[in-house]
Structure 1
Amino acid sequence: MPHQFSRTQAIRKPAVKSRGGIVAAQSRRAAEVGAEVLAAGGDCVDAIVATTFALNVLEPWMSGMGGGGAMVLYRARENRYEVIDYGMCAPQSLRVADYPITGQGAASDLFPWPRVKDDRNIHGPGSIAVPGVVAGMEEAHRRHARMKWKDLVDPAATIAGEGLLVDWWTTLMIASTAADLRRYPASAETFLRDGLPPNAP
């Protein structure tokens, strides 16, 4: 076993069986939203849509409408696979000349691409790609949904009305990006009141 694992750390979860399907998500509450959709007779795609929008509210630092992804579906009745690609893309007006490579090694971002002048591909309005999540969910819904879009988005809207729970994980996520949040007055005011991350109760 690799050295970074504790000898007492549990790395397995108990198996769960269900005749109606299972929804897995980092957030228990988001998974419950998806499970309720399945219990109401929704297709697995209905559960995906509802869970995705719930995660947007419950885990905005990892899952959100500002991102993108890909969905691999297996439709058992037809024994058919399909992929819906909803990755982010560059704006149509993007000019490569606005992002000159400095030749000073890799960026310090999550991805080890070559460093760009002023890190403008990482910070600021010029670093924003066109999100694909909403379009991807809409396409999956159009192809396979049994339930109305509104009924799948409503649980996320209800959760959003309650506000974001500030627990130790929320505090950790905000603290880990505090330097970047301080760059912009709006994000600093929202997430770093008094200049510090919120404290979990």
Structure 2
Amino acid sequence: MRYLKKIIFIMFMILSLPVNANWKSEIDFSLIPEYCKARYKVGDERSTEIWKKRLGKDFIHIHHYCYGLHLFNAAGRKIESKERKQTLQASLNQMIYTKEHSSPNFALQPKISFDIGRVYEGLEEPGKAMKAYQNSIRLNPKVAPPYAAISKLYLKQNNKKEAVAILKKGLKYNPNSKTLKKHLQKLTKE
């Protein structure tokens, strides 16, 4: 039964890929992190070995996340909403695959959760985005972007009090964050 579930999941992943899956251009690679380039062996072989050591055994799954980032970027360039939504869904599938197949203590889990939240926002699912951002904070409370993202979600709900509170919480963990200070200053001036 497990084997059948794996086959069905793999088929779903393949079918969720956009028709034009050949994306490895210089422009595409300029928009993704260095570890992605290393995973696809773009550049020197030494870089790949360095990132393998830094990210550990979960480096093997990182290409799904990298492709998900590429799709997220590509979705921003799509004009037609149906195509944009399909591209975002494919992005989400790739990121979730990486999250689920990597160890819970994988160094990029907080970043992956944050980016999953961004995709959910693009899909206009703020509740799921909020949960993904909260998970990112739970995994690493010192990183500022999830606090800022949650604050923006609260503002969209006209909940300025909670927007301010989450920024203050973020500043407790990361008191030097320019981003959080800037957002908080803007909200408290209004």
- TM bucket by the smaller chain? under 0.3
Q: TM-score, normalised by structure 1?
A: 0.24
**Structure having the larger proportion of residues in helix:** 2
Structure whose CA Rg is larger: 1
Q: TM-score, normalised by structure 2?
A: 0.24
**Structure having the larger proportion of residues in strand:** 1
Q: Which has the higher contact order (CA 8 A, sep 6+)?
A: 1
